[in-house]
Each structure stands twice: as structure tokens, then as C-alpha cells.
């Protein structure tokens, strides 16, 4: 509770939380908030500018942009949350075990992680989706792959210093198993650090998903995605600039919100870093 | 009666490889053949300057650091030969108290959970019984049961050290290794913690291995003491004798460097100065010879053997009371 | 210094091998048969077998791996299986555009980012600081294709200041420059946001050190303290992070090239993806890997220039 209050005292975080809540509510309440069906095509209503019956206008198929943005939020959120959760789970475990075990094993694992880290993440995502095919699960896999190595590093660093603490040695002396020491004693001490980075990486995941969709490697149409909408809008940029503007702003709102929350959380968990 | 702990030839070497393009392997002989025994209910002291390997020895004998050679017999059972399961059982009977009370407790766990956890893990108690046991442990170290719900950061260094001791007592051990248990504390608090340890020694018939650089603490607390220098024991015997009539010049130097209440014991030798050499490159022969005022050629050539009389032994070519003065 | 260079070069070899291995693994991870995937659903088994033989896919995996390593380490980046042109030739053709864009973006990034970061740190929690933090956060939150499209909408379509996109005529400096402005701004502003943040926190860290207080106490003017002691010591983390940024820069330039229809590596890679040009894809990934290994090497060496301690290490 103290933590949440400290977090909300920071204006950046409060704004970030509000932005995120807006997007999450939009996604959850999409069926009730959308004035139209996101897939409903209407030749007569093609490329209607914003205002009037279609608040944010319509696209080349006459579909309601507002509805598509609300439904598109679901895709962005689902992909970001699942891919980053998977990356935290896999990468975090790798980093914790590697750091705790130390020695040659740690050296080898971190070498592999460094190699993965040095690979440009968008290119990696691009190739993986291109090879596996553009589907929701494959996007999750691709984005999770790009975030595993960073989370291995994020989780490993504090484990290295924690395992030097006497309470870890005490646990061993008391006959606790390595697994117990690592997951019951060390894990709670690194969790906040990892989760803070989680929200910053979710911002990156939203960006990557949108970028892949923009390139044409997103969840297949007609499922509405923000990146895919930008792609359609880009093709009609001369006649219908609103088709690019609205989804662009939607992406910006969510990514900015997540980044603000992440920054504020980092300040709240680590007072030393406050404001950096 | 078998001693509770019997250590023979204990060795722990650390090696590091550094350098490019021709890497050089450096071996640090942190513990280089240490023998001692501790009896039931006895307080045994391990003293020496920092870097002499006393803390490494303490951890190696609990197998918190895996020793390279030697034998550790705990109550007659060889600890180094013990399987993981057997070691788990044996470890319940030997516990450790740490120097730094701030890092010794998990900052995210309430005290009650920290104290009850060993009992639960080893299936000795659970639920309400474990909570009662934790409260009893706190009472034994002089803290109220209300401390159970609180977190480490709410306590002072001395209180945390009491909690650390309570945790070490949880599994009813026969032996406690105390690694500099009071050196991180204020002097006024040091005395309280030492008194507590002595009380526990008496009430629970606990044996102690007390590791310290503070001769005053060791002299007051321990019945017998071993002095370590660069990974080896150079003198061992009853504490009173060792400090009243040290036989090794190093022991004498340590004693003279710390305040002694008896003016009669004042140094007859010039005070020995100098730094402790690196354990990675110990001097040949007797490791102490570069700092020793009595060093002769033999000291520079060979490591002196162990000579012992009436339970007081030392490793020196020219021990005090060993005829060195006479030979001159 | 020479020993350091040699050591870093030697240390880069295993990294390079590991990265190449990763490329090999990723490309082969594809479920199913790449030959069948390339040829499509209606391919005859004979055609698939022929393509497999051509790509070496009928060999055992280790043999493929060995010939893969041998090929790339000898500097042969292969031939596009769609156009039959050497991949390196295609890359060389677009290289000037890529270099133009990257250098211009880095220029914008550092020229805005470093002064902004330093002044934000010097006026901690002041107006400049708050503005710099907010703007850099917004800059970092823009996916480049969104900011690129927004810039395009504003400056090319609405105000018509730079109403041109697409291939630049390399022989015509004016054309080259006008077509560079918007893409370079797109890429550079994100970078500026990044550098601002890194510089700011590195400066704050350095300014809290004891030697800064000592320098001030000695009577070194504040300006001298900031430039001589502060920025020089803050340089190290900045260089590190900028080195790490290359991966992001590569991804961002792909998107920028798509938005502004510029020739470049990004367009080649997307073209290869669409045409399932397996060999080009692999060759490009290897080129990216070489690029990143080289940049990391340069970052390491820049360390030596900035930090005298590293020279001896």
C-alpha cells in the first residue's frame, strides 16, 4: 500500500496510470462502447471523414475507425501482456538460475544471452513471424523471444549481489534446498525490480507488435490491429489522413502510458534512482 | 568421549586465472592444512588478522564452502563423505551466526516467518506450534514475541544479531559457528551479545567455534584458542595460557598489539610491524619469517613442525619457553 | 593500446561465430520445408527436391552448418534466389542512402540529445528538466513509423515544406538533402530522446560524485567543472548505451525507409520477406550481425579513448 501511494505521488505515474486505464477500459468495454461492428463493411460509407455518424471516420471498406481502434486495443494488450509475461517467466528464470549457479555455466548462459541481445529485435521479430506465419500466437512467440535475453540480464544482476548476502548462506546452513533459497528467499527480493522493467518492456512489445503489423506481419486482417490500421491508412494517406492519425495516437497513448508507469514505478522502488 | 567436532588437514584453495595473452593461474591457499577439535559445550576460538583464512575455515567446516582436502568429523560422522541427505540432517545440528546482522536476515520476511521456516522445512513443527516455537526462541534471546510480525529493517544491529542467533538456535544445534558475531556492533552492544552467547552455551550445553580478530573477545569467551596465520594454525592451547605465555612470536605480536590488562605481560620484544603477506604468494619456510624478529636461516627454509606439550602447541623453530633464549 | 585492440578483435571472433550460429538456427527453425514454402502449394515433388538440392537442404544439418560458416566467413554473402544477383551488390547499391540516413540521424540525435541531457541535469527538477524528461518520454514512446507518418502528414502533405519522398538522386546534392530531412528527423528525434535520457542520468550520477565537489571547492568555475569533469566522465555510460542502441537503430531505419520509400537495407529485407527470398534473408541477417559485432567492437575501443583505465586492463 505504501508502495502504491509512493507511486501515485509521482505525477508522471499518475498520468501514466490514467492513460493505461483508458486503453484497458476501451479494450474491455469495446463491445458496448463501439457504435458499430468493427468488421461491418459498407460501400456507401467509404472513407467518411471524422465527425457525424462515424466519430473518427471510416476506412476504405467503410468500417468504423473508432470501433476498430477499440477492438484493436485488445490485440495490442493481449500480445504485450502474454509475450512479456512469457519473457519474464523464461528469461527471468534463466537469469536467476544462471546468476545463482555462477561459474562456467553462468558464463556460457550469459554469452548466449549476449548474442541474442546483440541481434536487432525488430529484425528478429520480423524473421520469426515471417518463418512461423503471421498469427497471434506466433507474434507472441516472436516478441517474447526478443525480450528473453534482456529479462535474463535484469533478473541476474540482483541475484549476483543477493547471493553474497549472509541470509542466503544462513538458508543453506539451515538445510534449505537451493530451489527454496532461490525461489522463496531470493525471488521476492528481485520481483519488484523485474516487474518494473516488465511495464517498460510491455511498452516496447506494443511498439514491436504495431511495427510488425505495419510491415504486414501482424495478426491477419480483417482482425483490427493498430499497426494494420496504420498500414491501411498509409496507403490512403493522400485522401484520408485520419486513417493514420487515430491509430497512431492510440499507439502513442498506450506506449506513453506504459512508459510513464514504468518510470514512476522505478522511482518508487528505487529511491536512489528517483528522477533519473 | 568423542569431540563434537574434529577437523584434520582441512584445506581450501581458491584459484583465479588472469592475464592476456598468457593467462597466469594464481592459487590462494586460504586454508592450508588446519587441525583442531572442539568438545561438547566448549567454546573454541579461531583468531588471526583479516585475510588469514579464519572465516574461510569456518565456512569450510560447515561445507558452506566445499573444502578441497581434509576431514571434518561431526560427532563421529565424516561430514565430507556425507550424502546430500545426510548432510541436511547433520547441518541441523551445526549452525552459523554471521558478522553482518544487516545482511543476515531476509529483508522481505517477517521475523516470525524467518524463525519458523527451519522448523517447517524440517517437519519439526507447523502452524501454531511453529509460531509458539518462534516466540520461545525470541524470548530466549531477549526479544518480545511482538517482534514476530515485524521486518528486519525495524530493528537495530544488536537486535538483529539476537534474531540471527535465535534462528541459529531454532533447530537445537550442538555446535554454533560464530563468525565475528560482535565485530559489526557498537562496543556497548558487543558485551550484551557475548553475555547472551555465554548464557546459551551454559543453558543449552552448546559448543562454539568463535571466529574473531579481537583477542579481547576470544580471551573472555573461549576456553581454548587457535591462532591462524596465512591459512595455517601457528599456535593452539588453553586461552589463558596462550595469551599469558604465548609461545609463537606471532601470537605475542597480536597480544602486544591489543590492550592487555596486566602490565607484567608487557612486551619484551620490539613490537612487530608489517603487513600480512598475500596468501597467493606466501613466503617460503615459516610464513611468518619476514615479520619475525627471531627469524633465522632455518625459518626461511623450512616450515617448522608442530610441537606440543600439555595441550599447548605451536609451529615455530624458536618458540618462547622452548629454549630459544637459552641457545643464544 | 594495440594489445587492447588485438584482444578486442580476438574476443569478437567467438561472438561472431555465435551470432552466425544463431542465424543458422533461426532460419532452420522454420517448421516444415523451406523449399516447399518457397515454391508454394502447387509445386511438384520433383521441383521441391531440385530446390532442396540447390539450397543444400538435402545435406545433413551439420554439413549444412559447416558449409554455411565456410561460406560467410570467406566473405561470400550468397546470391538472391529470386533475382540471381549477388546480395552484396544489392546492398552496395543502397549503401550510400543508408549511410546518409544513419549519419544524419546520429548527428541530429547527438546535437539535440547531449545538450538537452546536460542542461536537464544541471537544472534538475527545473522547467528545462521537466520539459526534457516529458519530451524524451514522448519521443521514446513513438514507434518510428508513427512519428514518420505524422511528420510526413505535417511537413510533406499539409505544409508542403518537404513535399518529396522516395529515391534520392545521389548526384544532385539538393535533392539528396531535401529527401533526407524528414527521414533523418524521424530517426534522429527518437535517438535524441534516448540520448537525452541517458546523458541526463549519467550527468546526475557524475555530478553527485565527490571529485566534482572537490573541483568546485578548489574554485574551478562551474562551467569548467561541467565540461572537463562532468561530461568526460558521463561519456562512458553514454557511449555504452549508444552502442547498445544500434540494434534499435537498425529496426527503426527499416521502418523509416518503408515510410519514406527510401532505398535501403530495410526495403531489401521486406522485399525478400514478401518474395520468400530465403538466401537474401539469410545474407542480410549475417550482414546485420557483422554490423553489430563491428559496432560493439568500436564501442569497446571508444571506451579506451574516453577512459584511460581501460587501456591498461
Residues in C closer than 8 angstroms to B20, CB to CB, are 3, 7
Residue C156 has pLDDT above 50, yes or no: yes
Give me the pLDDT at residue B321, please: 67
More confident residue, B158 or B22: B158
Residue C262, min C-alpha distance to chain A (Å): 15
Nearest one of C236, C248, C293 to A114, comparing CA atoms: C293
Residue B134 has pLDDT above 70, yes or no: yes
C-chain residue closest to B19, CA distance: C313
Question: pLDDT tens digits for A64-118?
Answer: 888 899 999 999 999 999 999 999 999 999 999 999 998 889 988 988 888 888 7
Instruction: Show the CA angle centred on residue A24, arms to residues A21 and A27, nearest 5°.
Output: 150
SS3 C18: helix
Give me the pLDDT at residue B270, please: 47
By Cβ distance, the residue of B62, B108, B121 closest to A173 is: B62
Ranges of H-type helices in chain A? 2-9, 11-28, 30-33, 65-101, 103-118, 121-132, 136-162, 166-173, 178-180, 187-215, 226-235, 242-269
Where do the structural domains in chain A lie, given as residue ranges? 20-29+62-269
Give me the pLDDT at residue A51, please: 78
By Cβ distance, the residue of A118, A230, A260 closest to C19 is: A118
Q: Which of B305-309, C150-154, C162-166 has the lowest mean pLDDT?
A: C162-166
Mean pLDDT of B52-78: 89
Residue B109 CB neighbour total at 10 angstroms: 18
More confident residue, C40 or C149: C149
By Cβ distance, the residue of C247, C258, C292 closest to A215 is: C258
pLDDT band at B259 (very low <50, low <70, confident <90, very high): low
Q: Which three cell numbers stand for residue C46?
A: 520433383
Query: For the CA atoms of chain B, what is the radius of gyration?
Result: 21
For residues A225 and A135, is the Cβ–Cβ distance under 8 A? no
Residue B147 has pLDDT above 70, yes or no: yes
pLDDT band at B271 (very low <50, low <70, confident <90, very high): low
SS3 C78: coil
Give me the pLDDT at residue B269, please: 46
Question: pLDDT tens digits for B88-98?
Answer: 888 889 999 99
Give me the pLDDT at residue B20, please: 57
Residues in C closer than 8 angstroms to B23, CB to CB, are none
pLDDT band at B118 (very low <50, low <70, confident <90, very high): very high
Judge: A166–B99 Cβ closer than 8 Å, yes or no. Answer: yes
Q: Say whether residue C127 is in contact with chain B using an 8 A CB cutoff.
A: no
Residue C310 has pLDDT above 60, yes or no: no
Q: Say whether residue C2 is in contact with chain B using an 8 A CB cutoff.
A: no
- Average predicted confidence (pLDDT) for chain B: 86
Give me the pLDDT at residue C307, please: 67
Stretches in chain A below the pLDDT threshold 50: 271-276
pLDDT band at B26 (very low <50, low <70, confident <90, very high): confident
- Kindly give the interhelix angle for C232-259 and C173-207, rounded to the nearest 10 degrees: 140
Residue B323 has pLDDT above 70, yes or no: no
Residue C37 has pLDDT above 70, yes or no: no
Q: Which H/E stretch holds residue B319?
A: none
B-chain residue closest to C10, CA distance: B21
CATH T-level assignment (fold) for domain A20-29+62-269 = MetI-like fold (1.10.3720)
Mean pLDDT of B166-176: 94
Residue C78 has pLDDT above 90, yes or no: no
- Among A127, A146, A234, which would you mutate to test the C interface (most chain C Cβ atoms within 10 Å of its Cβ)? A127
Question: pLDDT tens digits for A193-204?
Answer: 898 889 899 999
Partners for C (CB, 8 Å, 3+ pairs)? A, B
A-C contacts (CB, under 8 Å): 132
Give me the pLDDT at residue B3, please: 87
Longest dimension (CA), chain A: 77
Residues in A closer than 8 angstroms to C132, CB to CB, are none
Give me the pLDDT at residue B257, please: 77
Residue A150, min C-alpha distance to chain C (Å): 12
Judge: A248–C146 Cβ closer than 8 Å, yes or no. Answer: yes
For residues A206 and A24, is the Cβ–Cβ distance under 8 A? no
pLDDT band at B202 (very low <50, low <70, confident <90, very high): very high
Residue C2 has pLDDT above 80, yes or no: no
By Cβ distance, the residue of A175, A188, A189 closest to B91 is: A175
Q: Say whether residue C104 is in contact with chain A using an 8 A CB cutoff.
A: no
Max mean pLDDT among A44-53, B47-56, C38-47, C240-249 falls in B47-56
Residue C176, min C-alpha distance to chain A (Å): 23
Collect all residues with Cβ–Cβ distance below 8 Å to C281 and sequence separation of at least 6. A127, A130, C27, C269, C272, C273
Question: pLDDT tens digits for C82-130?
Answer: 788 888 898 888 888 888 898 999 899 989 998 899 889 888 888 999 9
A-chain residue closest to B63, CA distance: A173
Give me the pLDDT at residue C312, please: 45
Q: Which H/E stretch holds residue C13?
A: helix C2-28
Amino acid at each position: 500500500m505504501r508502495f502504491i501511494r509512493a507511486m501515485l505521488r509521482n505525477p508522471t505515474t499518475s498520468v501514466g496510470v490514467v492513460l493505461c486505464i483508458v486503453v484497458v477500459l476501451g479494450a474491455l468495454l469495446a463491445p458496448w462502447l463501439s457504435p458499430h461492428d468493427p468488421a461491418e463493411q459498407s460501400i456507401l460509407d467509404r472513407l467518411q471523414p471524422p465527425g457525424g455518424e462515424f466519430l473518427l471516420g471510416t476506412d476504405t471498406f467503410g468500417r468504423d475507425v473508432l470501433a476498430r481502434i477499440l477492438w484493436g486495443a485488445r490485440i495490442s494488450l493481449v500480445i504485450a501482456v502474454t509475450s512479456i509475461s512469457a519473457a519474464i517467466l523464461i528469461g527471468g528464470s534463466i537469469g536467476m538460475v544462471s546468476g545463482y549457479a555462477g561459474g562456467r555455466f553462468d558464463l556460457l548462459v550469459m554469452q548466449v544471452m549476449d548474442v541474442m541481445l546483440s541481434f536487432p529485435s525488430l529484425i528478429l521479430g520480423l524473421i520469426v513471424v515471417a518463418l512461423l506465419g503471421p498469427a497471434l500466437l506466433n507474434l507472441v512467440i516472436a516478441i517474447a523471444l526478443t525480450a528473453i535475453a534482456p529479462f535474463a540480464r535484469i533478473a541476474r544482476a540482483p541475484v549476483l549481489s543477493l547471493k553474497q548476502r549472509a541470509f542466503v548462506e544462513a538458508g543453506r546452513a539451515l538445510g534449505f534446498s537451493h530451489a527454496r533459497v532461490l525461489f522463496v528467499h531470493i525471488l521476492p527480493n528481485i520481483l519488484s525490480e523485474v516487474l518494473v522493467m516488465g511495464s517498460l518492456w510491455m511498452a516496447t512489445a506494443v511498439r514491436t507488435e504495431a511495427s510488425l503489423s505495419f510491415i504486414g506481419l501482424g495478426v491477419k486482417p480483417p482482425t483490427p490491429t493498430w499497426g494494420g490500421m496504420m498500414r491501411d491508412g498509409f496507403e490512403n494517406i493522400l485522401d484520408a489522413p485520419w486513417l493514420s492519425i487515430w491509430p497512431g495516437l492510440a499507439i502513442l497513448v498506450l506506449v506513453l502510458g506504459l512508459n510513464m508507469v514504468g518510470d514512476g514505478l522505478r522511482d518508487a522502488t528505487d529511491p536512489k534512482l528517483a528522477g533519473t | 568421549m568423542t569431540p563434537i567436532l574434529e577437523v584434520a588437514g582441512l584445506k581450501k584453495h581458491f584459484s583465479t586465472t588472469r592475464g592476456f595473452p598468457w593467462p597466469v593461474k594464481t592459487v590462494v591457499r586460504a586454508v592450508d592444512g588446519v587441525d583442531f577439535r572442539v568438545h561438547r559445550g566448549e567454546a573454541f576460538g579461531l583468531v588471526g588478522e583479516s585475510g588469514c583464512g579464519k572465516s574461510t575455515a569456518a565456512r569450510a567446516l560447515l561445507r558452506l564452502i566445499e573444502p578441497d582436502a581434509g576431514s571434518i568429523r561431526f560427532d563421529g560422522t565424516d561430514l565430507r563423505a556425507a550424502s546430500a541427505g545426510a548432510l541436511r540432517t547433520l547441518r541441523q545440528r551445526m549452525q552459523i551466526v554471521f558478522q553482518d546482522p544487516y545482511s543476515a536476515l531476509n529483508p522481505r520476511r517477517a521475523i516470525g516467518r524467518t524463525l519458523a521456516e527451519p522448523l517447517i522445512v524440517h517437519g519439526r513443527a507447523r502452524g501454531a506450534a511453529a509460531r509458539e516455537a518462534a516466540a520461545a526462541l525470541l524470548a530466549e534471546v531477549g526479544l518480545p514475541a511482538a517482534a514476530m510480525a515485524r521486518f528486519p529493517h525495524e530493528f537495530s544491529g544488536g537486535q538483529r544479531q539476537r534474531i540471527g542467533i535465535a534462528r541459529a538456535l531454532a533447530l537445537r544445534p550442538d555446535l554454533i559457528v560464530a563468525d565475528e558475531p560482535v565485530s559489526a556492533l557498537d562496543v556497548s552492544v558487543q558485551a550484551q551479545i557475548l553475555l547472551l552467547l555465554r548464557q546459551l552455551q551454559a543453558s543449552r550445553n552448546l559448543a562454539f567455534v568463535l571466529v574473531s580478530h579481537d583477542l579481547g573477545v576470544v580471551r573472555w569467551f573461549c576456553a581454548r584458542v587457535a591462532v591462524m596465520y596465512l591459512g595455517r594454525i601457528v599456535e593452539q592451547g588453553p586461552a589463558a595460557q596462550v595469551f599469558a605465555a604465548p609461545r609463537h612470536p606471532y601470537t605475542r605480536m597480536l597480544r602486544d598489539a591489543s590492550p592487555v590488562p596486566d602490565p607484567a605481560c608487557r612486551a619484551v620484544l620490539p613490537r612487530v610491524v608489517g603487513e600480512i603477506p598475500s596468501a597467493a604468494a606466501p613466503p617460503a619456510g615459516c610464513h611468518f619469517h619476514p615479520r619475525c624478529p627471531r627469524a633465522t636461516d632455518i625459518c626461511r627454509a623450512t616450515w617448522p613442525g608442530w610441537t606440543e606439550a600439555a595441550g599447548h602447541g605451536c609451529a615455530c623453530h624458536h618458540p618462547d619457553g622452548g629454549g630459544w633464549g637459552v641457545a643464544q | 593500446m594495440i594489445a587492447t585492440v588485438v584482444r578486442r578483435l580476438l574476443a569478437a571472433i567467438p561472438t561472431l561465430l555465435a551470432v552466425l550460429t544463431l542465424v543458422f538456427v533461426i532460419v532452420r527453425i522454420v517448421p516444415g520445408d523451406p523449399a516447399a514454402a518457397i515454391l508454394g502449394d502447387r509445386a511438384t515433388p520433383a521441383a521441391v527436391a531440385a530446390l532442396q538440392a540447390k539450397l543444400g537442404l538435402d545435406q545433413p544439418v551439420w554439413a549444412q552448418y559447416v558449409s554455411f560458416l565456410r561460406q560467410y566467413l570467406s566473405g561470400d554473402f550468397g546470391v538472391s534466389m529470386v533475382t540471381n544477383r549477388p546480395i552484396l551488390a544489392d546492398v552496395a547499391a543502397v549503401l550510400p542512402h543508408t549511410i546518409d540516413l544513419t549519419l544524419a540521424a546520429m548527428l541530429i540525435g547527438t546535437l539535440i540529445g547531449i545538450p538537452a541531457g546536460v542542461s536537464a541535469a544541471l537544472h534538475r527538477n527545473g522547467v528545462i528538466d521537466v520539459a526534457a524528461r516529458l519530451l524524451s518520454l514522448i519521443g521514446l514512446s513513438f514507434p518510428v513509423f508513427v512519428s514518420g507518418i505524422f511528420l510526413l502528414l505535417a511537413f510533406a502533405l499539409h505544409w508542403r515544406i518537404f513535399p518529396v519522398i522516395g529515391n534520392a538522386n545521389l548526384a544532385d546534392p539538393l535533392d539528396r538533402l531535401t529527401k533526407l530531412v524528414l527521414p533523418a528527423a524521424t530517426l534522429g528525434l527518437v535517438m535524441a530522446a534516448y540520448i537525452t535520457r541517458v546523458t541526463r542520468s549519467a550527468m546526475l550520477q557524475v555530478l553527485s560524485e565527490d571529485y566534482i565537489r572537490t573541483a568546485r571547492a578548489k574554485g574551478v568555475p562551474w562551467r569548467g567543472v561541467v565540461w572537463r569533469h562532468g561530461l568526460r566522465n558521463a561519456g562512458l555510460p553514454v557511449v555504452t548505451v549508444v552502442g547498445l542502441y544500434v540494434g534499435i537503430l537498425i529496426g527503426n531505419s527499416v521502418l523509416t525507409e518503408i515510410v519514406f520509400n527510401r532505398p535501403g537495407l530495410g526495403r531489401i529485407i521486406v522485399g525478400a520477406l514478401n518474395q520468400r527470398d530465403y538466401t537474401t534473408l539469410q545474407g542480410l541477417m549475417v550482414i546485420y550481425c557483422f554490423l553489430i559485432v563491428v559496432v560493439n567492437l568500436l564501442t569497446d575501443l571508444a571506451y579506451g579513448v574516453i577512459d584511460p583505465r581501460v587501456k591498461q586492463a
